[in-house]
Amino acid sequence: MKEGFAHQAIEDAIARERARVARELHDGIATELAGAISLLKVHFEKIAGRPDETLTNVFEILQKSLAHVRESLADLRPAAISPDGLLGDLRREADDFARLYGIRVELSSIGTEDMLVPHHREVVAQVVREALTNVRRHSGSAICRVRLAFAARPFLVEVSDEGRGFADGGGAGYGLMGMRERAAGIGGRLEVVSTEGRGTTVFLFGPN
C-alpha cells in the first residue's frame, strides 16, 4: 500500500512539473513567436511587391519553430480524460492523426473502460498518446493499430505499427522510459517488441 502511495506521489509531482514547464513555454517562447509572426504578417501586407527573401525565410523558420513548440506543449500537458471518456478521447486522437499526419489509426476494444479505475484509465491514455507520438516521429509507418483489452486480467493495451522498427537496445529513449515509469506507477509493466524493417509493438499490462 505504501509503495502505491509513493508511486502516486511521484506521478503527481511529475504531472505538476510538466504543467509548470508547459505554462512557461506557452507564456514565454510560444507567445513571443506568435507575436513575431503576426508582426511579419502585418509588414508583408503593408509592403508592395515581392517580400524580401531574407524576411520570408525568417518568417518560415518562425512558423516551423512555433509548430514544434506547440507539439511540445501538447506532449507536456496532463492527459486528463475528457467527458467523452477514454475511448472518445482516443477516437478523436485517431482522427487528428489521420488529418494532420496522414497516419491511419485503427482502434478496437474488448470490454468497457468502466472496468478500469480512473487513474488506470489516465495511464492508458498517457501511454497510448506517447506510443502514437513515437509512431509519428520515428516509425515512418502509415498505419497504427491500438487494441484495448479491458476485459482481460490484467488488462492489456497494444499499440503496433508497420514502420522501420529498431534493433535490440535501439529504442530506449525518453519516450519509452516515461511509458515504463507510468506502467510501474500502477503496478503494471510495459514491454516493447521491435524488429528492424518490420515495425514495433508496445504492450502495456495492467496490475495483476
Q: 99-108 pLDDT, tens per residue?
A: 888 999 999 9
Report the alpha-carbon distance of residue 37 to residue 42 in Å, rounded: 9
- Does this model's pTM top 0.85? My answer is no
Radius of gyration of the chain (CA): 20
Amino acid making up residue 82: S
Distances (CA, A) of 127 to 31, 34, 160, 206: 29, 30, 13, 12
Taking residues 15-44, what's their average pLDDT?
A: 80
| 151-184 residue pLDDT tens | 999 999 999 999 988 776 555 454 677 788 889 9
Domain boundaries, the chain: 2-76, 85-205
Mean pLDDT is lowest, of 21-30, 107-116, 141-150, 196-205, for: 21-30
The answer to whether the CB of 119 falls within 8 A of the CB of 78 is: no
Amino acid making up residue 48: A
Report the alpha-carbon distance of residue 101 to residue 34 in Å, rounded: 22
> Which superfamily is assigned to 85-205 in CATH?
Histidine kinase-like ATPase, C-terminal domain (3.30.565.10)
The answer to whether the CB of 183 falls within 8 A of the CB of 204 is: yes
3-state secondary structure of 49: coil
What pLDDT score does 26 carry?
A: 72
Q: Which three cell numbers stand for residue 187?
A: 503496478
| 122-155 residue pLDDT tens | 899 989 988 998 898 888 999 999 999 999 999 9
Listed residue (72, 63, 93, 60) closest to 25, CA to CA? 72
